[in-house]
Structure 1
Amino acid sequence: MSDDTTTPEGTDIRQLDEDTVARIAAGEVVERPASAVKELLENSLDADADSVDVTVEAGGTELIRVADDGYGMSEADLRTAVRQHTTSKIAGLEDLESGVATLGFRGEALHTIGSVSKLTIRSRPREADGAGTELVYEGGDVVSVEPTGCPAGTVVEVTDLFYNTPARRKFLKTTATEFAHVNRVVTRYALANPDVAVSLTHDGREVFATTGQGDLQAAVLSVYGREVASAMIPVEADGDELPVGPLESVSGLVSHPETNRSSREYLATYVNGRAVSADAVREGIMGAYGTQLGGDRYPFVVLFLDVPGEAVDVNVHPRKREVRFDDDDAVRRQVDAAVESALLEHGLLRSGAPRGRSAPDEARLEPGGSGSGSGGRPAAAGPGQQDSSSSSERPTSREGDAEASDGESDDTDAVDSQAADAEPAPASPDSDEGARTDDARATDSTDDGSPTTDDAEDVTADAPRDSSTAGAETAVEQNNQVAEPTTDPDSSSDGSARRDEADSSRRFSGPTEQRTLGGEAANGEVSEFDSLPSLQVLGQYRDTYFVCESPDGLVLIDQHAADERVNYERLREAFADDPAAQSLASPVELELTAAEAEAFESYREALTRLGFHANRTDNRTVAVTTVPAVLEETLEPERLRDVLTSFIEGDREAGAETIDALADEFLGDLACYPSITGNTSLTEGSVVDLLAALDDCENPYSCPHGRPVIVRLEEGEIEERFERDYPGHHG
């Protein structure tokens, strides 16, 4: 050990040797094959390449080869490039603070990759005649440098990744999972650079290849397929077209709302050409779509944000995949406005509709609107019209939509109470056939059957009343009887003040007698369970949570999570022997993206085990012949795409991608779809039946995804919150 690493006497603190430091640093930059692919691909793009060919074997664990026709390097360049912290892309701190224009800039890629692999680089400058140079670098040491014949540009080959760090190699996932990460990286940069011909080959099979002709739509066609490419619409907004904020422009492509997936996988966002993830950008995109997408559905997006270098920090993460903006809220508003404008221009947004073009024409009642019928009812917005609130006022997340809806409920109830005993108002002659009135309102539903946020508390007045809504309607009627009549909010300048005064008079004015979910007087019956505590059902909170009394306090139960757990264990038992399946009358062809097509080959056996039988008809298309029959439902063939996504998404334990493990994860997802959703009014009997079924479960305390089913509030905690434990208190 050299003098500068000698440990002084009297201390256990020592300076690490260079080899150890290099391997630690490599772990920060190169955590898996996709990390190495990303660094090498960025180098090729920074070298002004017109074409980049990426080849991997065994998901990149055995071989990574990135070949480009860029500037190339001389022998002196190669010898310097593999040293730590050497780069031609910045000169110092000044360049870093003024905004980095290149994709790479840390000067770590080749050195750190070579520290944990066997690295061979062949390169020749564009302007040089004759031979190029080959440099072999293993485990952090230069093994050889010699002339070689090669075309202009650079070829980097990485073999035996993590051969000298077995602990890191042990944590690599299966080939399918590792390749999914590689595919994601190459796809992102292929879409970001449509003027560069990018190809990806895995185990000798070409996964995709872009043309390099500068056509973004053509690049989307190459990586996602014709179906997705034809559903993409352009986004183009800059200058005065955007709200105030740091972004100079927003451009790219977004899909029709009905062309979507169950994963964020296909949200490709870029800041100054760099593929990054940023919560503000994602929230802006999803806020623009609003309720047009069902729960947990995401569109296809290729979106480019241009921002001055001083307004964004790209030096946040060692792998440069995250950025930080000076003003996240402003970025969110700007992205929301740009995407929403494009969707509106193409007629893909409808007020309150659950989906895109396939949504039926409808109108939406807005509290406080101008009167258009008897009783001063608000006017209904026509189909396709924008909500009365501006994009900057709309919540930018689905959670925000729910909060906004809750805030409007008092106004809606006031309108309801005014017309409670009135005759149904005739529809306006010029109104849409699907327009809603207070006496005939259709409840929108999302893809999974749950009501949309805006209409979660609407009920259909002219439908037959049944026990499932009796409790909710009884409560509404009781409240309406004590509410002060209100006038048309727009009939006088102080209309809103009168409405607020009327709402205030209603608060806490309902009957105080304890009632069951069915509206009857509570009988005090307590249900006894084996696993769950003894419970007396008191009611529902927001038609989403059961409120129960237990011997030692209160219990809140998430009805969706509870039903999901019950369905999951039923499915697991049913699939233990032989999964029920339904043969289709005729095969259904599905076009897959490049990632889905690769996953299909890896997970075909798992799909068959679950009841999906499908055969590949060409490189990107499969024909589905059989689908699973889940409880009382038969899954749509299109769900096969979601299954593939669930297989390859996220980091799982090494070796966990067995057929049984994959099947179990899928059953957890399937259990969600037939389960009772939030915002669903239930009868007392059905609540007790669900609790009894939950009590029979192996694990009644969490849903199959790990969310809690039950939250307990002990009596002591409640008393403490009300400060009933202070000295001398005897109440």
Structure 2
Amino acid sequence: MSKIHVLPDIVVSQIAAGEVVERPASVVKELLENALDASATTITVQIEQGGRRRIRVSDDGIGIPADEVELAFTRHATSKLNSIDDLQQLYTLGFRGEALASIAAISHITITTRHRDEETGTRLRIEGGKVLQRQEVGAPAGTVLDVENLFFNTPARLKFLKKTTTEKRHITSLVSRYAMAYPHVRFVLEQDSREILRTTGSGELADVVVRVLGLDAFRQMIPIAGEERDRLTGSRINVHGYVALPDFSRADRSHITLFVNGRSIQDTRLTYALTQAYQGMLDDRRYPVAIVMIDLPPDDVDVNVHPTKAEVRFRSPDTVFTAVQRSVRQALLSALSAHPSESSTDASPAQQTLNLPSSPAEWQSPPSSPPPAYAAQRPSVPLAQTTRHSVYTDDDTDLDYIPAGADAPLRPRTLPILRVIGQIGAQYIVAEGPVGMYLIDQNAAHERILYQALHEQLGSDENDSIEIEPQTIELPKQLAKAFEQSWDFWHQLGFVIEPFGPDTWIVRAVPSLLQGLDIGAAILYTLKGGSEPEQLIRQLSAFAAIRSGEVLSTEEMRSLIQQLERCPSPMTAPDGRPTLLHFSSEQIAREFRR
């Protein structure tokens, strides 16, 4: 049996390099980030044989002081943080101090650098992690890193590299992404002495998009701009960039580019938020072209969760999701409303947005209905009772037609005028619009209404409570602790609750829109869905919403549709399920072979 022993430093470095350096593009990424952190205004990337033979990155940044050059190639040596607390306020792309050491361990690397406050530069030659040569040289301010013979001492990694054309494509994609994230920096990319990309550094994202995608593609793009405030932290989340009109789509997600605080990331949930914003505008098998920049305070995002920092963790992921989805959706609706010819000629953009997936399973979301055990405890609550106390006033329920958007002139119209026809299977509301028929899922629609009302109540200073006959609730110990931790949430919603013994409370008042519920069952079900306010609101909305199987009067159906239209995101439930489906007159005629 082999004895336990400490690995040599060079072996440790080579193993660590395997996490940081996966392919030539990984080297380019690390060197680009170092250049950007050094405040470079011009960055040149030169590649030979897809990066196998050579990768050269030069910049005009501040450079490295002569007495720190060798230290820069030591593992965990960094100028970007001093303590664990600094991770909460990162304003740089790099911070671990692993990149240069990892690259040097598996390549032949030459660095030439001069700090802008020094008169001469330093050149260092390292092979396989060992310093072979150091000399003083004349050099402009900045840094040139020349990486040759990548993976020369790790043949297993070398043989897993793809074809040269594939590696070139990865590098081109990477440099293009950083050029878009930093439009104020001039980027030059050369592959085998052939210039692939050159940006102007004008500071205009549009200039870079034109150079990366081409003028014809850019003409199919629209700008996005939005802001969302996190209700928990008060932080502002800004979203900007460009997205393509629905007609300019692709067969895969590879043309969706996401940035968080200037860092290129991969995030399946944000990609889903983006594609969801196109629901009803794109075929299910097509994906948009998008460049989405997300800016938020550094302490609201954790970038230290992945070896290559390609993934991040948000403090309030639901708020970021909403910010992306809403910004893209509103930009698309505005653009299509202004240019109806760019959508189908058979229907207005408003109707175009309602061609939602025909099956909730397509959304890959869990069902919102509570388990049967809770459903049995929940009394039947008439729609009028739960919605007449909504934050939306209801003055037009006696009309045959439901006005669309009359009370929200600043928001793009997302629903047309609808006339209630009836109800199918005590589950779906049938309505007629200007161009075709609509089916509204009463459960999903009511969830959206309640979700919006609860969100606004949570952020309101007004207390919209109503006294009830005191109800006693007793919770399991684990949920009792979660209940105590979320005490502020319940209080802000308008609940008046007092301790009434171990793990027991008495409820004396509830938000008016939840009047009539079995409050004990509602709280128990809500707490099982999570402890974050966003999770609590979703669960509470799901519990309180009317169910499939509840017969509604015509007045209740009209009220529901009217309040749904007044929601900022009326076409989906909080969990992403569609609230309604649209069948155009032409589609119906085709089904009847007319």
Distance of aligned partners of 1:386 and 1:16 in 2 relative to their CA distance in 1, 3 Å threshold? same
Is the 8 Å Cα contact of residues 64 and 158 (structure 1) preserved in structure 2? yes
Is the 8 Å Cα contact of residues 424 and 430 (structure 2) preserved in structure 1? no
Pairwise mapping of residues 113-132 of structure 1 onto structure 2 (< 5 A)?
Answer: 113-129=103-119, 131-132=120-121
Q: Partner residue of 1:70?
A: 61
Q: Partner residue of 2:162?
A: 173
Q: Could you tell me how far 1:414 is from its partner in structure 2?
A: 6.7
Q: Partner residue of 1:301?
A: 290
Q: Aligned pair 1:213/2:241, yes or no? A: no
Q: Partner residue of 1:523?
A: none
2:414 pairs, out of 386, 389, 398, with 386
Distance 1:218 1:205 in 2: 21
Q: Could you tell me how far 1:305 is from its partner in structure 2?
A: 1.3
Q: Partner residue of 2:97?
A: 107
Q: Could you tell me how far 1:310 is from its partner in structure 2?
A: 2.3
2:30 pairs, out of 35, 39, 48, with 39
Distance 1:237 1:202 in 2: 37
1:56 pairs, out of 47, 60, 63, with 47
**1:63-95, Cα deviation, whole Å (9 max, x unpaired):** 100011111123212111111111111112121
Q: 2:111 is paired with a residue of what secondary structure?
A: strand
Distance 1:169 1:494 in 2: 62
1:141 pairs, out of 106, 114, 130, with 130
Amino acid at match of 1:63: R
Q: Aligned pair 1:192/2:181, yes or no? A: yes
Is the 8 Å Cα contact of residues 245 and 330 (structure 1) preserved in structure 2? no
2:254 pairs, out of 257, 260, 265, with 265
**1:661-691, Cα deviation, whole Å (9 max, x unpaired):** xxxxxxxxxxxxxxxxxxx99xxxxxxxxxx
Amino acid at match of 1:62: R
Is the 8 Å Cα contact of residues 230 and 237 (structure 2) preserved in structure 1? no
Q: Partner residue of 2:312?
A: 323
**1:600-630, Cα deviation, whole Å (9 max, x unpaired):** xxxxxxxxxxxxxxxxxxxxxxxxxxxxxxx
Q: Could you tell me how far 1:294 is from its partner in structure 2?
A: 1.5
Q: Partner residue of 2:148?
A: 159
Is the 8 Å Cα contact of residues 261 and 297 (structure 1) preserved in structure 2? yes
**1:138-159, Cα deviation, whole Å (9 max, x unpaired):** 0010010012232221110111
Q: Aligned pair 1:228/2:228, yes or no? A: no
Q: Partner residue of 1:336?
A: 325
Distance 1:185 1:213 in 2: 20
Q: Partner residue of 1:360?
A: 346
Pairwise mapping of residues 475-490 of structure 1 onto structure 2 (< 5 A)?
Answer: 488-489=554-555
Q: Partner residue of 2:526?
A: none
Q: Could you tell me how far 1:387 is from its partner in structure 2?
A: 3.4
Is the 8 Å Cα contact of residues 117 and 162 (structure 1) preserved in structure 2? yes
Alignment TM-score, normalising by the size of structure 2: 0.61
Distance 1:226 1:301 in 2: 15
Q: Partner residue of 2:436?
A: 436
Q: Which has the higher strand share?
A: 2
Q: Could you tell me how far 1:36 is from its partner in structure 2?
A: 0.4
Distance of aligned partners of 1:287 and 1:495 in 2 relative to their CA distance in 1, 3 Å threshold? closer
Alignment TM-score, normalising by the size of structure 1: 0.50
Percent pairwise identity: 39
Distance 1:387 1:295 in 2: 21
Distance of aligned partners of 1:377 and 1:243 in 2 relative to their CA distance in 1, 3 Å threshold? farther
Q: Partner residue of 1:204?
A: 193
Distance 1:495 1:297 in 2: 30
Pairwise mapping of residues 347-496 of structure 1 onto structure 2 (< 5 A)?
Answer: 347=336, 357-358=343-344, 360-362=346-348, 385-387=413-415, 410=425, 415=430, 435-436=435-436, 488-489=554-555
Is the 8 Å Cα contact of residues 402 and 561 (structure 2) preserved in structure 1? no
Is the 8 Å Cα contact of residues 429 and 557 (structure 2) preserved in structure 1? no
Distance 2:8 2:185 in 1: 41
Distance of aligned partners of 1:410 and 1:327 in 2 relative to their CA distance in 1, 3 Å threshold? farther
**1:629-663, Cα deviation, whole Å (9 max, x unpaired):** xxxxxxxxxxxxxxxxxxxxxxxxxxxxxxxxxxx
Q: Could you tell me how far 1:223 is from its partner in structure 2?
A: 0.8
Distance 2:557 2:228 in 1: 40
Distance 2:270 2:345 in 1: 26
Q: Aligned pair 1:80/2:71, yes or no? A: yes
Distance 2:138 2:29 in 1: 26
Amino acid at match of 2:104: G
**1:247-277, Cα deviation, whole Å (9 max, x unpaired):** 5211222221222222222212111111112
Distance 2:319 2:229 in 1: 14
Q: 1:337 is paired with a residue of what secondary structure?
A: helix
Q: Aligned pair 1:280/2:269, yes or no? A: yes
Amino acid at match of 2:4: I
Is the 8 Å Cα contact of residues 284 and 334 (structure 1) preserved in structure 2? no
Distance of aligned partners of 1:411 and 1:23 in 2 relative to their CA distance in 1, 3 Å threshold? same
Amino acid at match of 1:320: K
Is the 8 Å Cα contact of residues 68 and 155 (structure 1) preserved in structure 2? yes
Gaps of 5+ in 1: 1-9, 390-407, 417-426, 442-453, 455-482, 497-679, 682-731
RMSD: 3.9
Pairwise mapping of residues 674-713 of structure 1 onto structure 2 (< 5 A)?
Answer: none
Is the 8 Å Cα contact of residues 242 and 334 (structure 1) preserved in structure 2? no
Name the count of aligned residue pairs. 403
Is the 8 Å Cα contact of residues 239 and 292 (structure 2) preserved in structure 1? yes
Is the 8 Å Cα contact of residues 73 and 154 (structure 1) preserved in structure 2? yes
Q: Partner residue of 2:543?
A: none
Q: 2:276 is paired with a residue of what secondary structure?
A: helix
Is the 8 Å Cα contact of residues 187 and 200 (structure 2) preserved in structure 1? yes
Q: Partner residue of 2:15?
A: 24
Is the 8 Å Cα contact of residues 230 and 236 (structure 2) preserved in structure 1? no
Q: Could you tell me how far 1:318 is from its partner in structure 2?
A: 0.8
Distance 2:404 2:221 in 1: 31
Amino acid at match of 2:256: L
1:251 pairs, out of 210, 235, 240, with 240
Distance 1:347 1:243 in 2: 34
**1:363-422, Cα deviation, whole Å (9 max, x unpaired):** 7599x9x9x9xxx7989999x840389xxxxxxxxxxxxxxxxxx974687749xxxxxx
Is the 8 Å Cα contact of residues 257 and 348 (structure 1) preserved in structure 2? no
Greater relative contact order, per chain length (Cα 8 Å cut-off, separation 6+)? 2
Gaps of 5+ in 2: 356-382, 384-393, 407-411, 418-422, 440-444, 446-548, 563-589
Q: 2:278 is paired with a residue of what secondary structure?
A: helix
Is the 8 Å Cα contact of residues 87 and 107 (structure 1) preserved in structure 2? yes
Q: Partner residue of 1:607?
A: none
Amino acid at match of 2:294: L
Distance 2:345 2:561 in 1: 34
Distance 1:493 1:127 in 2: 70
